[in-house]
Structure 1
Amino acid sequence: MSDGLNDARAIRIAEIMTDFRNLQYYLSQLHATPTAEEYYLEGYSLLRQCTLEAQAILDAPFSAGTTSPGGDPEREKAQLKGIIVDAGVRRFQCQRAYLRAHAGLRWMNSRNSILRGQKPNASHLQALQATDSTLRMELLSITDAHVENTLRSQDASQGKWLSEDPTLSQIQQTLMRR
């Protein structure tokens, strides 16, 4: 028997998809223009990778099943739950790419601040190495648990219904199967 939460599930899907769309928009706006010498530097490679990840998430087929509920509340419930999981996993992936891209942008801005339009030289070496090290440390801190926590904290602070959002282990299992 249906539990009467299908409207709440549909609203939750809309919320998750709105977050997903916003993250995708942000990631699509990343445009770094490194010089030929800078092209393969860590931060610029990271920004390209995050953009490619975002596109791959969009290109991935929907994986929550395609059965038609046909007016059956129980089938509708199962379908909505599947969509919540699929959308939640995609949002998680985009959030991870967003956090990583944001670290890359901080690296790029720090680098630009150090160089101030000059070509890198020996006087910049220590500061540039520190910037590279900071980027690596930031990337190490962007764990799956951290990504999931940022999403849950944001949703909880906005009073969203989270009862059927996928857990971190469900997200990780889904990603391993893809």
Structure 2
Amino acid sequence: MSDGLNDARAVRVAEIMNDFRNLQYYLSQLRTSPTAEEYYLEGYSLLRQCTAEAQAILDAPFSSATTSPGGDAERERVQLKAIIVDAAVRRFQCQRAYLRAHAGLRWMNTRNSILHGQQPNASHMNALQAADSTLRMELLAITDAHVENTLRSADASQGKWLAEDPSLAQIQQILMSR
């Protein structure tokens, strides 16, 4: 029996998908132009990895049966709940890629400000190593719990309905099963 929350579920699907679309757009706009010597540096590799992850998320098929509810409120409820879960997992993945890419961009900007267009030399070594270390520390801080907290905090501050959003444990379980 339907519980009368299908309109709230439909709005939640739209909210999550809008966030997902915004994250995908940001990730698709990442452009870097490392030199041949820089191509395999940690930060540039990270940025390419984040872009590839975003594309893989887009390419993954929706994993639930998508039968047409045909006016049946109970079937609509089940379908909307499945879409909320799938969309929330995809948004989580994109948020993680976004946070990692943002750290990579900070690294790239720091590196550029250290080098001022020059080739790296011994006088840059300590500052470049510090930038690499900062990137690694930032990446360690981007845990699943941190990613989930950034999403939930933003949603809660905007007063969004979160009653049927999957928990972090559910998201992790789904990601491990893929």
Scaled by the length of structure 2, the TM-score of the pair is: 0.99
Question: What is the Cα deviation at residue 64 of structure 1?
Answer: 2.5
Matched residue, 1:135: 135
Deviations 1:39-79 (A, max 9, x none): 00000000000000000000000012212212111111000
**Counterparts of 1:65 and 1:59 in 2: how far apart (Å)?**
17
Aligned residue runs from structure 1 range 14-163, under 5 A: 14-163=14-163
Deviations 1:85-130 (A, max 9, x none): 0000000000000000000000000000000000000000000000
- The residue matched to 2:45 in structure 1 has which SS? helix
Percent of aligned pairs sharing the same letter = 85
**Counterparts of 1:77 and 1:173 in 2: how far apart (Å)?**
22
**Counterparts of 1:39 and 1:166 in 2: how far apart (Å)?**
38
**Counterparts of 2:39 and 2:20 in 1: how far apart (Å)?**
28
Deviations 1:134-160 (A, max 9, x none): 000000000000000000000000000
- Opposite residue 28 of structure 1, the aligned amino acid is S
Q: How many residues align structurally?
A: 178
Scaled by the length of structure 1, the TM-score of the pair is: 0.99
**Counterparts of 1:65 and 1:150 in 2: how far apart (Å)?**
30
The 8 Å contact of residues 47 and 104 in structure 1, kept in 2 or not, is answered as yes
**Counterparts of 2:66 and 2:20 in 1: how far apart (Å)?**
21
**Counterparts of 2:49 and 2:160 in 1: how far apart (Å)?**
31
- Opposite residue 109 of structure 2, the aligned amino acid is N
The 8 Å contact of residues 64 and 82 in structure 1, kept in 2 or not, is answered as yes
The 8 Å contact of residues 63 and 86 in structure 1, kept in 2 or not, is answered as yes
Unaligned runs of 5+ in 1: none
**Counterparts of 1:135 and 1:38 in 2: how far apart (Å)?**
16
Structure 1 residue ranges, 4+ long, deviating more than 4 angstroms after superposition: none
- Opposite residue 131 of structure 2, the aligned amino acid is T
Deviations 1:14-45 (A, max 9, x none): 00000000000000000010000000000000
97-106 or 56-65, which moves further after superposition?
Answer: 56-65
**Counterparts of 1:23 and 1:66 in 2: how far apart (Å)?**
24
The 8 Å contact of residues 30 and 51 in structure 1, kept in 2 or not, is answered as yes
Matched residue, 1:167: 167
